[in-house]
Amino acid sequence: MAKRFIGSVEDEWQLYSDNPEDYTLGPSIGFGASSIVYSALYQPRSSSGSKPIPVALKVLDLDSLPPHALSLLKTETTLMSLSKHPNVLRVRGYWMDGHKLYIAMRLMNKGSAADVMRYGWPGGMEEDVIRCILSQALQGLNYLHINGFIHRDIKAANLLIDDDGTVLLGDLGVAANLDESSSPRKSFVGTPCWMAPELIQGQQYDAAADIWSFGITALELAQGRPPRSRDSSQQVLLKIIHEAPPTLTREGGVHKYSRAFKEMVDNCLVKDPSNRPTAAELLQTPFFKSTKRKSYLVGAILSKYLLVVLSGYGLTLFRGSSSPRATPGKARKEPSFLYMFH
């Protein structure tokens, strides 16, 4: 019996078929050790008169994946195919062809919040923009939490933005189901700058670890980089454990921020996870009361963002060779882009 997700909604994006003949493969837009991502057009043979839909098609060579990667892939594909929420990236179709797995997803033309910030707002974003991005991400995160999942890698690079201003949680490869075994969890996963103290110390953790990462992501969007990002990974981990939590500087930076924003961040970055708010509680805080509609992002940032990049489908953006098919490590000086598997 299929798992029913609490709070599921029918989003506005249709599912695609699992018939390979319904897809016209385009050029590759990214690659990794075990995968290639293509742009493609989806047009069902049964409705040839309909307008083709641009999609991202991720092709994975299962024979080249180690056992632990296969487990993460299974988790990601299952979660992304079952979930139904407008703020969680969903697998729209998938099929096997020999030892290759094909995964069809919505094409997110504007990349991630980190991409947008890196090329347009390197010093941080304005509060209204941050609020609009975080509100949508938090709704997706709340959906995962109430259904027993924790994301475990919340950061700006995993907040995908589409042309209409929709923000979706992506890269669910390290998400964990709290119901699969005795909860909370104890495994060590995540990205150092965003990791919660209890996770670093090997203590049991739950959805509250995502809330810490969410608070760090808020600071990342306000400052242009996460706290302690200039330190080595080992230094970051030690400072997260032994130093006071970072906080938002309201003035003195590129933009000024409200007291409500600072309070929201401080509430997320409490070292005792039992004292952190839930995602649902955060959505009710004063900071999110004045959230603008997603269309606000179109005029505020996307219309000014001319560089079209793609990341978040389990990929990382690198500067590299002028050819998207080039071999990693053969980088040239030309400003172009390669996409590598996490």
CATH number at residue 164: 1.10.510.10
Same domain for 327 and 236 = no
Q: Does the residue 267 lie in any domain?
A: yes
Q: Does the residue 7 lie in any domain?
A: no
pLDDT at 98: 85
- Span of 23-32, 58-67, 93-102, 292-301 with lowest mean pLDDT: 58-67
Close Cβ partners of 98 (under 8 Å, ≥ 6 residues apart): none
pLDDT at 322: 32
pLDDT at 176: 44
Same domain for 264 and 127 = yes
Does residue 47 have a pLDDT over 80? no
Q: Which tokens is 55 given? A: 């999609």
Rounded mean pLDDT, 224-251? 93
Does residue 107 have a pLDDT over 60? yes
Known catalytic residues are 153
DSSP secondary structure string for all residues of 219-253: HHHHHSS-TTTTS-HHHHHHHHHHSPPP----SSS
pLDDT at 58: 84
The strand pairing partners of 97, in sequence order, are 100
Q: Does the residue 80 lie in any domain?
A: yes
Rounded mean pLDDT, 312-324? 39
pLDDT at 307: 42
* Residue predicted with more confidence, 133 or 99: 133
Same domain for 225 and 145 = yes
24: alpha, beta or left? (left if phi > 0; alpha if psi -120 to 50): beta
Domain count, the chain: 2
* Highest mean predicted confidence (pLDDT) among 71-80, 141-150, 206-215: 206-215
Helix 208-223, helix 259-268: angle, nearest 10: 140
**Domain region containing 32:** 12-107+310-342
- Mean pLDDT score of the chain: 78
**pLDDT tens-place string over residues 59-94:** 888 787 776 666 666 655 665 555 678 898 877 888
Same domain for 288 and 245 = yes
Same domain for 90 and 194 = no
* Residue predicted with more confidence, 257 or 229: 257
Q: Does the residue 2 lie in any domain?
A: no
Rounded mean pLDDT, 287-304? 90
Same domain for 74 and 19 = yes
The model's pTM is: 0.76
Does residue 338 have a pLDDT over 60? no
Q: Does the residue 1 lie in any domain?
A: no
pLDDT at 17: 82
Strands 100-106 and 91-97: antiparallel
Same domain for 23 and 170 = no
Q: Which tokens is 21 given? A: 């003949």
Same domain for 54 and 94 = yes
* Residue predicted with more confidence, 91 or 306: 91
Which residue type is seen at 314? Answer: G
**pLDDT tens-place string over residues 168-194:** 998 654 344 444 443 454 444 457 899
pLDDT at 32: 61
pLDDT at 172: 57
pLDDT at 83: 66
Same domain for 184 and 101 = no
Does residue 7 have a pLDDT over 70? no
Rounded mean pLDDT, 35-41? 86
Same domain for 287 and 213 = yes
Same domain for 282 and 148 = yes
Does residue 127 have a pLDDT over 50? yes
Strands 176-177 and 315-320: unpaired
Per-residue pLDDT band for 252 (boundaries 50, 70, 90) equals confident
Q: Does the residue 3 lie in any domain?
A: no
CATH number at residue 43: 3.30.200.20
Same domain for 82 and 122 = no
pLDDT at 62: 78
pLDDT at 139: 97
Q: Please check if 155 is assigned to a binding site.
A: no
Q: Does the residue 4 lie in any domain?
A: no
